[in-house]
Amino acid sequence: MSSSPLSAGAACLSFYYTIPASLATLHVNTTTEDNVPIELWSVTSRSVRTWTFERLFLDNGSSAV
């Protein structure tokens, strides 16, 4: 999934996730204006069978706080 660039200032990304596989990693990534990839968040789990809520607070639209 991708989205358009965020404007300057603080932002928040909220989402639910589930990991039905026996062992998996979920990543949330972004890129800078120079197309440099940045990993904002990740989780590795043996199995998350329920939906889990996560909220990332972003500063200047490019890094997790």
The answer to whether the pTM exceeds 0.75 is no
Residue ranges per structural domain of the chain: 11-64
Measured CA to CA, the distance from residue 33 to residue 42 in angstroms comes to: 22
**Beta-strand pair 48-59/37-45:** unpaired
DSSP 61: T
Q: What are 3-24's pLDDT values in tens digits? A: 666 666 678 899 999 887 777 8
Q: What are 32-65's pLDDT values in tens digits? A: 889 899 999 999 887 777 899 999 988 754 444 4
